[in-house]
Amino acid sequence: MNILQKIFTDYYEEMIYTLHPRHSVVENVDKMIHCGDPAFGGAMYGCPHCGNMKFVPFRCHSRFCPTCGNKYSMERATSMSFKLIPVQHRHCVFTIDEDLRHFFLDYPDLLHCLFHSVTSVICRMFHKLNKSKNFTPGFIMVLHTFGRDLKWNPHIHCLISEGGYSDDGFWRNVSHFDYTFLRKAFRTALLNEMQTVIGPSFKKQKAKCYDKHKKGFYVYAKPNKCDPKIVTKYIGRYLGRPVIATSRIDRYDGKYVTFHYNRHEDNKYVEETIPVMEFIQRLIRDIDKKLRRSISKEKHRIYRSFHQWRTSILLSFGYDPPECPVCKHKMEFLELYYAHKCVSLEEMYEKAMSRSRGKRSSA
């Protein structure tokens, strides 16, 4: 049991009765707590060379789990890196006014407005280069609803190609990004989107934002030498990563949690100690309603995914599950255990598929 599992196990009942979390939150917390617990099943392997036995427990596949979330992030980063244009990219961050953050808690649909606003701004910036050619860049957007201090702070990380294709297939390199346009255009686009969702009551707050941010919302878009060779590093760092890694949790004494982070503004090392319930509240707030399994059941093809699973575990955590810890030979699959009893691989597959079909039909 890692430190995050212990924290949530100790305060599970208090979390339920004081914070009244949504069903999706409870579901993901339950999965994270029991991730890797042999009582919930696993696979038994045997070594034909030395006779050693090894039990590999099931994982929860929830992105809220620091272990499975890290694995998901690496798999997504690898997958997306093959879809990127092999050119220089720029990492940009689109932030919002601190006074607007609570609106995104009260109106969850506003999170979609962040994507719409950034998309329109980027496309318009490239369209301005030559309106007749209509240059279009390649870009990936990732929503983060938390900052390094774990506080609610929705913002968009975006990886943009330094160039774009025209409608007739001509590529144009773009090394200069218009910061002034990005900031002002993002401010205008987002505030207009928010007013559409919230209604006329937002007009007063909108006017305050224009008055407070005359130069627009802060957008980080400085050149960062993100060439194709290291682009996977950038994607992996920001794409679907867990809220907090267990390595950032320094101490837990039963009442308080101490964690650290490097402050974004000056990269200064900061250590923060907060009550356990406040720590839990910051974490579960970032569990989206749609945050389910990191790998959908429809994509779980038990017979064909074994080698992919083995490779992903090796790349993510540095060990090979079927490798014998004694003689280092490849172990063979023997039995599958679920709910404290041995089940066949075919039976496990049929159960997973029947549950998946049942959920699709009820939806």
Confidence of residue 312 (pLDDT cuts 50, 70, 90): low
Give CA–CA dist 264/239, Å, rounded: 18
- In this predicted structure, the answer to whether residue 231 has a pLDDT above a threshold of 90 is no
pLDDT score, position 300: 42
pLDDT score, position 23: 87
87-138 confidence digits (pLDDT tens)? 888 888 999 999 999 999 888 889 999 999 999 999 999 998 888 888 999 8
Mean pLDDT is highest, among 11-15, 24-28, 172-176, for: 11-15
pLDDT score, position 105: 87
- In this predicted structure, the answer to whether residue 199 has a pLDDT above a threshold of 60 is yes
pLDDT score, position 234: 63
Give CA–CA dist 196/326, Å, rounded: 63
- In this predicted structure, the answer to whether residue 290 has a pLDDT above a threshold of 50 is no
The mean pLDDT value for 71-95 works out to: 78
Structural domains in the chain plus CATH codes: 34-61+295-362 (no CATH), 85-227 (3.30.70)
Sheet holding 341-343, edge to edge: 53-57, 42-46, 332-338, 341-343
pLDDT score, position 345: 65
pLDDT score, position 299: 39
Task: Read off the tokens for 100.
Answer: 């607007």
| Burial group, residue 81, by CB count within 10 angstroms (0-12, 13-18, 19+) | middle
| Burial group, residue 45, by CB count within 10 angstroms (0-12, 13-18, 19+) | buried
| Percent of the chain residues topping a pLDDT of 90 | 34
pLDDT score, position 200: 93
Q: Which one has a higher pLDDT value, 5 or 78?
A: 5
Mean pLDDT of the chain: 82
Neighbours of 183 (CB within 10 A): 20
Pairing relationship of beta strands 152-165 and 89-94 according to DSSP bridges: antiparallel
Task: Read off the tokens for 261.
Answer: 């982070």
Give CA–CA dist 117/135, Å, rounded: 18
